[in-house]
Chains A and B, each alone.
Chain A
Amino acid sequence: MSNESNSRRNFLRGSAVAVGGLSLGFSLSGCSPSANSAELTADPQGLASDVSVWLSIDTSGIITVRVPSAEMGQGVNTSLPQLIAEELDADWSKVISETAPHTSDFVNPSTLSRGTGGSSAVRRWWPTLAKAGAAAKEMLMSAAAQRWDVPVSELSTLNSTVMHSASGRQAGYGELASAAGQLSIPENPVVKSPADYTLIGKPLKRLDSPAKVNGSTTYGIDIVVEGMSYATVAASPNFVGELISMSEADARAVNGVQDVIEMPASHYVNSGIQSIVAIPDTVAVVANSYWQAKKGLAALKPQFSDGGAAGVNNASLTAGFMAALDQEGVQVRNDGDISDSLSRAEKLLEAEYAVPFLAHLTMEPMNCTAHYQSDSVNGDRLEVWAPTQGQSHAVNVLQQAFGLQADQIRLHTTFMGGGFGRRFEADFVVQAAMISRAAKKPIKMVWSREEDLQHDYYRPASASRFQVGLNAEGLPVAWKNVMACPSVAQRNFSAAVVNGADPFSVEGAVNIPYAIENQLVTLKQHDTSIPVGSWRSVGSSHNGFYVESMMDEVAVAGNHDPFELRRKLLQHEPRFLIVLDQLEEKSGWKQAPAAGRFRGMAIHESFASIVGEVAEISIAENGAIKIHNMTCVIDCGKVVNPSIIETQLASAMIDGLTAALRGGIKIEEGRVVQSNFDTYKLMHMAEVPAMAIHIVDNDEAPGGIGEPAVPPSMPALTNAVFAATGRRVRSLPIEPSLA
C-alpha cells in the first residue's frame, strides 16, 4: 500500500505535499464536467482522483471528499464529508463522497490502522477532517487574494464562494481551485468555533441515497472483474471437524463446475494488533456462475468429522457458563469492602442471568472478489475487492497467509450491505484469495445465507451473577457481579487483554455509573468451541442487559420507582441526569400508561454516549408481546447529523429488541442448527414499534451513535415484561421462556 501512496505523493505538484500528517490536493484540471444538480459526478477527465488525499475540487466546483471509514449503512459517507464541508464553507449540493482507496494516507493517526468499528468514525476523524477542510478554505482564500491583489483578511467565504465585500468581487471555489492547488498547505489552519457552524448539526440528506434507490451502488457482491469465475464454500459445520469425504466426481459432473478446492483449517496472525484469523476446514466449488457453484457444492456432499464437538449443545454450553460462575475469576473492580457490606445489608438480592450467542446476519452475505497472480520473476500480486470494515487487518492477514509484502496487495473497499462487526473479520477475504490462487483466475466468492448464519463470529453467550445488598432505605450499598464470558479480544486484540481481563467482556459492567460504595466485579474467562467476535455494542450488549435488569430488581426490592432510584444514584453524573430527566418527561413516565400497557426503563453509557430508553408494551392473552413504542434519549455530545443519528438509534433499538425477543443461536452436536431467515427470525415492518427519539445537543466531545442504543433496549423491554407479568426475564431470548 505504501507504493500506491508514494506514487501519488510524487505526482503532487508544486508545494501540495504532506504536512504534519495532513496532505491535501486540488484538481489541476482545466476541463469542466457536465454535472447537473441531480446527479453530480466529478470530472472524469480531471486529475482529481490522483492528486488529492482528503478532497479535491474540480473546476466546476464539484467537491469530492474521500472517506477513510467504511460505509456499512451508518452514514459515514455523509457525516465525515459534513465535517470537511463545514470548515470549507462548501455548498453542500456540490459535495460528493467516495470511500478512500487503501493507502497509508487513510490510516488513522490515533489507532495506526485502518478500520471502522467501535462507533468511532466521527470521534476519530473529526480533528483531521476539520483541519483538511480549514486548510483548503485558506488556500482558496489565498488564491483569491492573489488574483484580486487584496489582503486575505478582507475576504470571507460562503457557500463555495470567496467574497471581497469592499469591492463586491466574488469567485466560486471551482474558479479558484487550480490556482489554490499551486499554493502551499497551511500548517495550522484555523478551525471554526461551534457557534459558527452552519452545516454541522443540520439533518443533511445522505450523499449515498440516490445510488441506493436505483440499484447502482456497487456492493462487494456486485463486483465484476474481467475473466472472473464464481465460487461458493462449505466450511466445517462444527468449526473444528475435518473434511473426511466428498463426492468430487459428482460435483465436477455438474454443468459449469470448473474446480473443487480444499482449504485446510488454518490460522493467520496479524501481528500488528495481535489478532488471529482461524478458518475451519473448508471446501470450495468454482463454476461459471454462482448458481452452478451452488449446485456443485450440493452434489459434492462434503462430510466433516465431529472433531470432538459432538457433545456441544445449548444445554452443555449453559452448564459450562454456570459452572464457570463458581470458579475464581479476575477482579476487574474492587471498591470498598464487599464482604463486610454484604454481610451488613438489610436485604440481600441474588440473581443469575444469561444470554445466548447471536448471529450478525448482515443483509449482504459474506463475499469477496480476489485475483491472485503468481509471478516468480517480479513477485506475486494479489488484488482484492472486499466489503470489509478492517482494511489494515485484512491486508496484514493476507500478508501472513501468502507470504506477501504489503505493496504486493491491493485492496479495494466496497460498499457493504451491513457490517455490525462481522465484516471486521478477514476469514472471507483470505478464502477468496486462496480460491483465486488455486484456480489461477479472478474469483468472486459468495457464501450462501446458510453458510453465513452457520459460520459467524457470534456475539458471545455469557452468564452473570449478582449479589446486591440494600440498606434500610432500600438503596444498594453492596454490588457484587461475577461474570463468565468467552473472550473476544484474546483472538481479535490480544494486546487489550491485561491480567486475564478482556475489556470487551466487562465493558458496561465494570464501569456502572451508579453511586454504590462497595463494588466487586470479577470475570472468569470461559471459552467454548463456538467462534466469537464483535457484535453491535460488543460487551455492553450483554452487560447492559444484566446491569439494568438488576437495577430494576433493586428498585422493586427497595420499593423505589425505577426512575427515582436511578436519579438518586446518579446525582454525581449531571449528563446522566439530563438524559434521565428527558426520558421521564418524553415517555410520560410519571403518568400511568393506558390500561393494559406497561413500561420498562434502562439507561446505559457505551462508546462515549449515554442512552436512556423506555419500552411500552402490552401482552396478549396468548403471551405474545407487543412493543407499542420506544422512547429514546441520547447524549452523544456535539451533534453532527441529527437525521443520521435518528436512523442509527432506531436501527440499534430494533437490533436489540429483536435479540431480546427471539435472538439466539441453537447448537446441536457443536454446529448451528438454524440455517436461514425462516429459522432465525428478524423483525418485520408490522412488529416495529413507534419510536420517539430525542437528542440532547451540547458542546461536549462527540460520542458514538451506531451502537449505544442497543444495550438499553433489551432491559427496557424485559423490565416492561416484569411490570406486565411480574416475571423477571433473567435469560434471553424472552419468547421461549414465556411460551
Chain B
Amino acid sequence: MNLTINNVVHEFEVDEDTPLLWVLRDTLGMTGTKFGCGVAQCGACSVLIDGQVQRSCSIPAAAVEGRDIKTIEGLSRDNSHPVQQAWIAEDVPQCGYCQSGQIIAAVALLEANPKPSDDEIDKSMTNICRCGSYSRIRKAIHRVANA
C-alpha cells in the first residue's frame, strides 16, 4: 500500500481493512495522532484528507491511497504554524491528549472560514476534550482569526 502523508510517500504492507489511525501509529510510528474511541466520536484521531478534517480511526487506509493526508506532524515540528502558535499563546493544553485532533480540526475550520463566529466554532469543533479546555480552544481560534 502507498500513502502520501505530509507530502512524503510511504510504502508498507498492512491488512486491507486497517484503519488509517493504526497505520499512522503502529506501522509508521507517527504517534501524534491519537486513539480515543475507535468509533469516530471523540476526534482525537483527526487528520486532514485533501484539506478536509476526517476521523482516521474509522477510515480504512486503503480508502485514502492517492489522497493528500496531513497529520499533526505535518503542520510543523517547530510549532511555527499559526494555529500551534495560538495554542501556545493561549496555553491551551492540559493533558494534551486530544490537542492534536483539536488543532487539526481548527486548521480545517480556519481554512474554510478565516473569521469564524462563536456559533460557527461551536458547530465545527466537535472533538471531545476530557480536560475541558474548550474556552481556551475558542480563544486560540479567535486569536488566529484576528492575527
Of A19-27, A360-368, A616-624, the segment with at least 4 beta carbons within 8 Å of chain B is A360-368
Q: Which residue on chain B has the smallest CB distance to residue A682?
A: B128
Q: Cβ of B99 < 8 Å from any Cβ of A?
A: yes
Q: Which residue on chain A has the smallest CB distance to residue B140?
A: A213
Asked if B126 contacts A684 (CB within 8 A), the reply is yes
Per the bound structure, the CA–CA distance linking A418 and B38 in Å amounts to: 18
Output the least CB separation between A501 and chain B (Å): 32
- Which of A256, A364, A650, A682 interacts with B34 by CB under 8 Å? A364
Per the bound structure, the CA–CA distance linking A364 and B19 in Å amounts to: 18
Output the least CB separation between B49 and chain A (Å): 17
Asked if B94 contacts A73 (CB within 8 A), the reply is yes
Q: Cβ of A446 < 8 Å from any Cβ of B?
A: yes
Main secondary structure of the interface of B (DSSP, over half): loop
Output the least CB separation between B15 and chain A (Å): 6
Q: Cβ of B108 < 8 Å from any Cβ of A?
A: no
A295 cross-chain contacts in B, Cβ below 8 A: 15, 17
Output the least CB separation between A685 and chain B (Å): 5
Q: Which residue on chain A has the smallest CB distance to residue B133?
A: A647
Asked if A224 contacts B29 (CB within 8 A), the reply is yes
Q: Cβ of A736 < 8 Å from any Cβ of B?
A: no
Asked if A418 contacts B37 (CB within 8 A), the reply is no
Within A6-53, the residues touching B (CB, 8 Å) are: 38-39
Asked if A677 contacts B94 (CB within 8 A), the reply is no
Q: Cβ of A372 < 8 Å from any Cβ of B?
A: no
Per the bound structure, the CA–CA distance linking A417 and B34 in Å amounts to: 10
Output the least CB separation between B103 and chain A (Å): 6
Output the least CB separation between A225 and chain B (Å): 12
Output the least CB separation between A239 and chain B (Å): 22
Q: Cβ of B26 < 8 Å from any Cβ of A?
A: yes
Known A-B contacts A219-B97, A363-B97; the reply to A654 vs B84 at CB < 8 A is no
Per the bound structure, the CA–CA distance linking A228 and B121 in Å amounts to: 41
Per the bound structure, the CA–CA distance linking A209 and B36 in Å amounts to: 20
Asked if B18 contacts A289 (CB within 8 A), the reply is yes
Q: Which residue on chain B has the smallest CB distance to residue A71?
A: B95
Interface string of A668-680 (1 = CB under 8 A from B): 0000000011100
Per the bound structure, the CA–CA distance linking A626 and B88 in Å amounts to: 30
Q: Cβ of B92 < 8 Å from any Cβ of A?
A: yes
Q: Cβ of B31 < 8 Å from any Cβ of A?
A: yes
Known A-B contacts A216-B32, A292-B15, A643-B91; the reply to A449 vs B79 at CB < 8 A is no
Q: Cβ of B63 < 8 Å from any Cβ of A?
A: no
Output the least CB separation between B121 and chain A (Å): 7
A688 cross-chain contacts in B, Cβ below 8 A: 132, 134-135
Within B57-110, the residues touching A (CB, 8 Å) are: 71-73, 75-79, 84, 87-88, 91-100, 103
Interface string of A251-284 (1 = CB under 8 A from B): 0000110000000000000000000000000000
Q: Cβ of A735 < 8 Å from any Cβ of B?
A: no
Interface string of B1-34 (1 = CB under 8 A from A): 0000000000000110111001001110111111
Per the bound structure, the CA–CA distance linking A650 and B29 in Å amounts to: 34
Q: Cβ of A221 < 8 Å from any Cβ of B?
A: yes
Question: Which of B19, B26, B94 has its CB near the most chain A CB atoms (within 10 A)?
Answer: B94
Q: Which residue on chain A has the smallest CB distance to residue B138?
A: A685
- Which of A209, A292, A361 interacts with B91 by CB under 8 Å? A209
Question: Which of A73, A214, A292 has its CB near the most chain B CB atoms (within 10 A)?
Answer: A214
Output the least CB separation between A233 and chain B (Å): 15
Q: Cβ of B53 < 8 Å from any Cβ of A?
A: no
Known A-B contacts A209-B92, A214-B84; the reply to A289 vs B71 at CB < 8 A is no
Q: Cβ of B125 < 8 Å from any Cβ of A?
A: yes
Interface string of B25-55 (1 = CB under 8 A from A): 1110111111111110110100000000000
Per the bound structure, the CA–CA distance linking A213 and B80 in Å amounts to: 10
- Which of B33, B99, B136 interacts with A647 by CB under 8 Å? B136
Asked if B96 contacts A205 (CB within 8 A), the reply is no
Q: Cβ of A222 < 8 Å from any Cβ of B?
A: yes
Q: Cβ of A458 < 8 Å from any Cβ of B?
A: no
Asked if B130 contacts A686 (CB within 8 A), the reply is no
Output the least CB separation between A81 and chain B (Å): 15
Asked if B73 contacts A363 (CB within 8 A), the reply is no
Per the bound structure, the CA–CA distance linking A419 and B17 in Å amounts to: 32
Question: Which of A289, A363, A688 has its CB near the most chain B CB atoms (within 10 A)?
Answer: A363
Interface string of A210-235 (1 = CB under 8 A from B): 11111111110110100000100000
Per the bound structure, the CA–CA distance linking A448 and B126 in Å amounts to: 21
Q: Which residue on chain B has the smallest CB distance to residue A448?
A: B38
Per the bound structure, the CA–CA distance linking A73 and B88 in Å amounts to: 15
Per the bound structure, the CA–CA distance linking A651 and B93 in Å amounts to: 11
Per the bound structure, the CA–CA distance linking A23 and B70 in Å amounts to: 46
Q: Cβ of A249 < 8 Å from any Cβ of B?
A: no
Per the bound structure, the CA–CA distance linking A655 and B130 in Å amounts to: 8
A222 cross-chain contacts in B, Cβ below 8 A: 25, 31
Q: Which residue on chain B has the smallest CB distance to residue A649?
A: B132
Asked if A74 contacts B134 (CB within 8 A), the reply is no
Q: Which residue on chain A has the smallest CB distance to residue B76?
A: A214
B42 cross-chain contacts in A, Cβ below 8 A: 363, 677
Output the least CB separation between B96 and chain A (Å): 3
Asked if B75 contacts A214 (CB within 8 A), the reply is yes
Known A-B contacts A449-B39, A691-B135; the reply to A72 vs B15 at CB < 8 A is no
Interface string of A109-125 (1 = CB under 8 A from B): 00000000000000000
- Which of A73, A655, A684 interacts with B128 by CB under 8 Å? A684
- Which of B15, B26, B39, B88 interacts with A677 by CB under 8 Å? B39
Known A-B contacts A363-B42, A448-B38, A676-B39; the reply to A212 vs B26 at CB < 8 A is no
Per the bound structure, the CA–CA distance linking A257 and B121 in Å amounts to: 43
Asked if B97 contacts A289 (CB within 8 A), the reply is no
- Which of A38, A292, A684 interacts with B78 by CB under 8 Å? A38
Q: Which residue on chain B has the smallest CB distance to residue A74?
A: B94
Per the bound structure, the CA–CA distance linking A213 and B32 in Å amounts to: 9
Output the least CB separation between A212 and chain B (Å): 3
Asked if A651 contacts B131 (CB within 8 A), the reply is yes
A290 cross-chain contacts in B, Cβ below 8 A: 22, 25-26, 35
Output the least CB separation between B128 and chain A (Å): 5
Per the bound structure, the CA–CA distance linking A173 and B59 in Å amounts to: 52
Known A-B contacts A209-B88, A215-B71; the reply to A256 vs B15 at CB < 8 A is yes
Asked if A215 contacts B92 (CB within 8 A), the reply is no
Per the bound structure, the CA–CA distance linking A655 and B128 in Å amounts to: 12
Per the bound structure, the CA–CA distance linking A363 and B22 in Å amounts to: 17
Per the bound structure, the CA–CA distance linking A690 and B123 in Å amounts to: 17
- Which of A209, A416, A650 interacts with B135 by CB under 8 Å? A650
A449 cross-chain contacts in B, Cβ below 8 A: 36-39
Known contacts A39-B78, A219-B97, A290-B22; 20 further A-B pairs (Cβ under 8 A): A38-B79, A73-B95, A208-B96, A209-B93, A209-B96, A213-B99, A218-B31, A256-B15, A363-B97, A363-B128, A364-B34, A417-B130, A418-B131, A650-B132, A654-B132, A677-B36, A682-B128, A684-B126, A685-B126, A685-B134
Q: List 6 A-B contacts (CB under 8 A).
A: A38-B79, A71-B95, A73-B94, A291-B19, A651-B132, A683-B132
- B residues contacting A by CB (< 8 A) are 14-15, 17-19, 22, 25-27, 29-39, 41-42, 44, 71-73, 75-79, 84, 87-88, 91-100, 103, 121-123, 125-126, 128-138
> Sorted from nearest, which 7 A-B pairs have the closest CB atoms?
A215-B32, A417-B97, A73-B95, A212-B96, A654-B132, A73-B94, A686-B122
